[in-house]
């Protein structure tokens, strides 16, 4: 009883740690691309905002759900970015709660559920994805992840409920209009229906549904601003980025908030092992007579993670000077972690760890794994400590001294003319750092 309580408390300790870390160090001022939503907020204040303002492209994305949420919060709070960060953490909590539903469906015993719960929590709140925790703009990724989790869990239940399939479709569509990568969920569901469920009508439905959503999405799509990588670079990027979420928990590599680790061998090896292990688990499920809802959910998660990694590699492997090393970027970790989540659900479903053979060794590995994860969380404090210093000594001063030294506006956004225009709109409408006299403390 005490052991179960301890594991439950550990599962709650991970989100609690991230909440404290975010409170200690986060971005509290409009920063980089986040400043661009100022125009939409001002239009909403003036009553001139249109549907196109929500669905317009930002690079290759149409982040309509992010814009709707942030604009709505801004109208209620005069764009208090600290409230955004609270909402960002709450979205992660919602992802965890929906994930628990899937874990509960997969685990046929309370023991399996409780043993897996800390691992689920550690993956969802992982500090490897710290970039998606200390910056309010990453609400877009968090929302997409929430909708994706809803997609896969609902799909797992849709074996005997038509309503669940409709919920899965709605969630996949919302995920797509949060981050472009969400469209891969349709392909993952179609492939799972075809390969695992052997339900051809269902596979056709998901292909058609995804095709319609994607066709609407592509209207007015901008041409990519850079050349595309070759197949080998794309695959290398995918393998490294799939391994990064777990590799980062084993050995936390980030030294500061904007760090992109250059090492490829360790995360690449982990990524390759994860894909091979996942493939073995899935192939074993293929031999079973009838399809299983939780297994369907897990397979779709894994296929999404692999497809997402390949798509990201296709677009980013030659995007900048980092090349394939960009696969280690913290912001990619949230979606790539779905491969680990898939493996977790598959293992819990069949409970291979409960087999008495080598039970002592399995318990030892589990305990060591939890210890390593806790260490990674502890080490991540330096990231939030650094972002606290950046927010206070760089961003705050850039806003305070913008009129006297516009060069400091480069810390806010790289285009000084655009920065000046957005700051002017904030001041005129008293939003963001200028919502009241205490919001921007310019005392030294």
Kindly state whether residue 398 falls inside one of the protein's structural domains.
Answer: no
pLDDT at position 306 over 60: yes
Write out the residue range of the structural domain in which residue 187 sits: 12-387
Indicate if the pLDDT at residue 225 is higher than 60.
no
| pLDDT computed for residue 321 by the predictor | 72
pLDDT of residue 437: 75
Smallest CA-to-CA distance from 103 within 170, 14, 38, 8 is with 8
Tell me what the pLDDT averaged over the chain comes to: 89
Average pLDDT over residues 299-318: 91
Instruction: Select from 152, 25, 22 the least CA-distant residue to 87.
Output: 22
pLDDT tens per residue, range 141-179:
999 999 999 999 999 876 556 678 889 999 999 999 999
Q: Which residue has the higher pLDDT, 442 or 54?
A: 54
Which range among 278-287, 288-297, 298-307, 416-425 has the greatest average pLDDT? 298-307
Residue 410, domain member (yes or no): no
Q: What is the mean pLDDT of residues 303-324?
A: 86
Residue 251 inside a domain? The answer is yes
Q: Is residue 394 part of a domain?
A: no
Q: Is the separation of the CB atoms in 310 and 172 below 8 Å?
A: no
Residue 21: inside a domain, yes or no? yes
Whether 126 is in a domain gets the answer: yes
Measured at the alpha carbon of residue 137, what is the angle toward residues 178 and 223, in degrees to the nearest 5?
A: 55
Q: Does residue 418 lie in a domain region?
A: no
pLDDT digits (tens, 9 = 90+) for 16-50: 999 999 999 999 999 998 999 999 999 999 999 99
pLDDT of residue 240: 95
387 close to 259: Cβ distance less than 8 angstroms:
no
**The pLDDT of residue 223:** 67
| pLDDT (mean) for 257-271 | 92
Residue 59: pLDDT above 60? yes
Across 268-280, average pLDDT: 95
Mean pLDDT score, 241-260: 94
- Residue pLDDT, tens place only, 352-392: 656 666 677 878 888 899 999 999 999 999 999 999 999 98
pLDDT at residue 304 above 70?
yes
Look up the pTM and report it: 0.93
- What is residue 287's predicted lDDT score, i.e. its pLDDT? 67
Instruction: Show the 3-state SS of the chain.
Output: CHHHHHHHHHHHHHHHHHHHHHHHCCCCCCCHHHHHHHHHHHHHHHCCCCHHHHHCCECCECCHHHHHHHHHHHHHHCCCHHHHHHHHHHHHHHHHHHHHHHHHHHCCCHHHHHHHHHHHHHHHCCHHHHHHCCCHHHHHHHHHHHHHHHHHHHHHHCCCCHHHHHHHHHHHHHHHCCCHHHHHHHHHHHHHHHHCCCCHHHHHHHHHHHHHHHHHHCCCCCCCCCCCCCHHHHHHHHHHHHHHHHHHHHCCCCCCCCCCCCCCHHHHHHHHHHHHHHHHHHHHHHCCCCCCHHHHHHHHHHHHHHHHHHHHHHHHCCCCCCHHHHHHCHHHHHHHCHHHHHHHHHHHHHCHHHCCCCHHHHHHHHHHHHHHHHHHHHHCHHHHHHHHHHHHHHHHHHHHCCCCCHHHHHHCCCCHHHHHHHHHHHHHHCCHHHCCCCCCCCCC
Q: What digits encode the pLDDT tens for the residues 389-432?
A: 999 888 888 888 877 777 666 788 888 888 889 999 999 999 98
At residue 284, the pLDDT reads 86
Structural domains in the chain (count): 1
The reply to whether 7 falls in a domain is: no
């Amino acid at each position: 009883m005490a052991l179960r309580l301890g594991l439950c408390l550990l599962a709650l300790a991970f989100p609690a740690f991230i909440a404290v870390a975010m409170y200690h160090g986060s971005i509290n001022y409009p920063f980089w691309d986040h400043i661009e939503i100022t125009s939409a907020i001002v239009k909403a204040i003036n009553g001139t905002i249109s549907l196109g303002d929500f669905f317009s492209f930002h690079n290759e994305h149409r982040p309509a759900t992010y814009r709707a949420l942030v604009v709505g919060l801004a109208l209620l709070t005069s764009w208090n970015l600290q409230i955004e960060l609270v909402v960002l953490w709450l979205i992660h909590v919602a992802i965890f709660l929906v994930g628990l539903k899937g874990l509960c469906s997969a685990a046929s015993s309370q023991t399996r559920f409780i043993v897996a719960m800390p691992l689920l929590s550690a993956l969802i709140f992982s500090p490897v994805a710290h970039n998606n925790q200390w910056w309010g703009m990453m609400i877009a990724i968090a929302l997409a992840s929430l909708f994706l989790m809803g997609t896969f869990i609902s799909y797992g239940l849709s074996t005997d409920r038509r309503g669940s399939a409709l919920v899965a479709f709605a969630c996949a569509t919302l995920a797509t209009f949060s981050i472009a990568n969400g469209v891969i969920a349709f392909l993952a569901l179609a492939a799972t229906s075809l390969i695992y469920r052997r339900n051809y009508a269902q596979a056709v439905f998901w292909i058609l549904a995804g095709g319609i959503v994607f066709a609407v999405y592509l209207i007015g799509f901008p041409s990519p601003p850079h050349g595309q990588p070759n197949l080998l670079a794309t695959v290398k990027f995918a393998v490294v980025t799939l391994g990064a979420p777990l590799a980062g928990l084993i050995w936390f590599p980030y030294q500061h908030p904007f760090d992109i680790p250059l090492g490829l061998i360790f995360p690449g090896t982990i990524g390759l092992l994860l894909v091979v292990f996942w493939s073995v688990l899935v192939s074993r499920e293929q031999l079973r007579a009838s399809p299983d809802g939780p297994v369907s959910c897990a397979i779709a998660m894994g296929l999404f993670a692999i497809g997402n990694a390949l798509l990201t590699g296709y677009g980013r492997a030659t995007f900048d000077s980092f090349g394939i090393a960009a696969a280690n970027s913290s912001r990619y970790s949230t979606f790539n972690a779905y491969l680990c989540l898939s493996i977790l659900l598959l293992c819990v479903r069949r409970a291979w760890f409960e087999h008495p053979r080598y039970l002592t060794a399995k318990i030892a590995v589990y305990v060591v794994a939890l210890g390593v994860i806790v260490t990674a969380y502890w080490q991540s404090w330096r990231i939030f400590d650094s972002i606290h210093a950046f927010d206070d000594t760089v961003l705050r001063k850039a806003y305070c001294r913008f009129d006297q030294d516009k060069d400091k506006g480069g810390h806010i956004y790289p285009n000084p003319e655009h920065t000046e225009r957005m700051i002017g709109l904030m001041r005129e409408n008293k939003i963001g750092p200028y919502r009241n006299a205490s919001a921007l403390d310019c005392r030294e």
